[in-house]
Amino acid sequence: MPDKNLTICKYSGYPVILIIISLFIQVSCREIRQDDSAEDSIDEVNTLMFYTGSFAGEDDPGIHLFEYEILTGEFNKIQKLTGQINPSFLAVDSEAGFLFAVNTTASYDDENSGSVAAFAIDETSGKLSFINRQSSRGSNPCHISIIAEGKFVAVANYMGGSVSVLPVQEDGSLQPASGFVQHQGRGPHERRQTAPHAHSIYPVIDGPWVMAADLGIDKVLIYRVDNEGNLVPGSVTPSAVMEPGAGPRHIAFHPNGNWIYVLNELNSTVTRLLFDSDSGKAEVMESTSTLPVGYEEENLCADIHVHPGGRFLYASNRGHNSIAIFELDSEGVPVMIGLEPVRGERPRNFSIDPSGNFIFVANKTTGNITVFKIDNKTGLLDFTGSNLEVSSPVCIKFLSR
Query: What pLDDT score was predicted for residue 291?
Result: 98
The partner residues of 315 in beta bridges, in order of sequence, read: 304, 324
Biggest CA-to-CA distance, the chain: 111
* DSSP conformation letters of 255-268: TTSSEEEEEETTTT
DSSP conformation class of 45: H
Give the residue from 191, 138, 197, 129 showing the smallest Cα distance to 164: 138
Query: What pLDDT score was predicted for residue 41?
Result: 34
Strands 259-264 and 269-276: antiparallel
62 pLDDT exceeds 80?
A: yes
pTM: 0.89
Query: What pLDDT score was predicted for residue 401?
Result: 80
Band of pLDDT at residue 3, cut at 50, 70 and 90: very low
Helices and strands (H, E) in the chain, number of each type:
1, 29
139 pLDDT exceeds 80?
A: yes
Query: What pLDDT score was predicted for residue 44?
Result: 52
Q: What is the pLDDT of residues 306-355, one digit of tens each?
A: 999 999 999 999 999 999 999 999 999 999 999 999 999 999 999 999 99
CA 329 to chain centre: 23
* Buried/exposed 49-79: b ≥16 CB within 10 Å, e otherwise: bbbbbbbbeeeebbbbbbbbebeeeebeeee
